[in-house]
């Protein structure tokens, strides 16, 4: 069974975690199938604490991967949900902003 769980990094008193898709039989810091984001609980800006690849997480959830309790809490905070049956796992990309028009250049004089 594939689990979406945290892989521990960092050092003492400075935790850092990678969120990975892993076989449930591997150890905590074992080989990951795919890295899906990271979580840094020491960052002051709460919006920057969790960085997720939402499309890949939705893919793994759609094929039956089970998130750990802590990862499920992070996914709930970010609003990431398992796609419904028949719903594509890829989220539509937001429309790209049009590049700003360059101001007209004055004619060169010699």
Q: What is the pLDDT of residues 50-85, one digit of tens each?
A: 999 999 999 999 999 999 999 999 999 999 888 888
58 φ/ψ angles, rounded to the nearest 5 degrees = -65, -35
CA distance 5 to 72: 9
Confidence (pTM): 0.76
Judge whether 2 and 60 are in contact, CB under 8 Å.
yes
Mean pLDDT of 90-106: 66
Domains and CATH numbers, the chain: 2-78 (3.30.1320.10)
Classify the C-alpha dihedral 7-34-21-26 as positive or negative: negative
């Amino acid at each position: 069974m594939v689990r979406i769980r945290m892989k521990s990094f960092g050092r003492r008193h400075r935790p850092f975690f990678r969120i990975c898709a892993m076989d449930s039989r591997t150890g905590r810091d074992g080989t990951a199938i795919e890295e899906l984001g990271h979580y840094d609980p020491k960052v002051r800006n709460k919006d920057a604490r969790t960085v997720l690849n939402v499309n890949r997480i939705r893919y793994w959830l759609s094929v039956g991967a089970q998130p750990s309790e802590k990862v499920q809490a992070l996914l709930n905070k970010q609003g990431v949900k398992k796609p419904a049956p028949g719903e594509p796992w890829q989220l539509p990309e937001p429309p790209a902003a049009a590049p700003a028009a360059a101001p007209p250049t004055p004619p060169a004089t010699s």
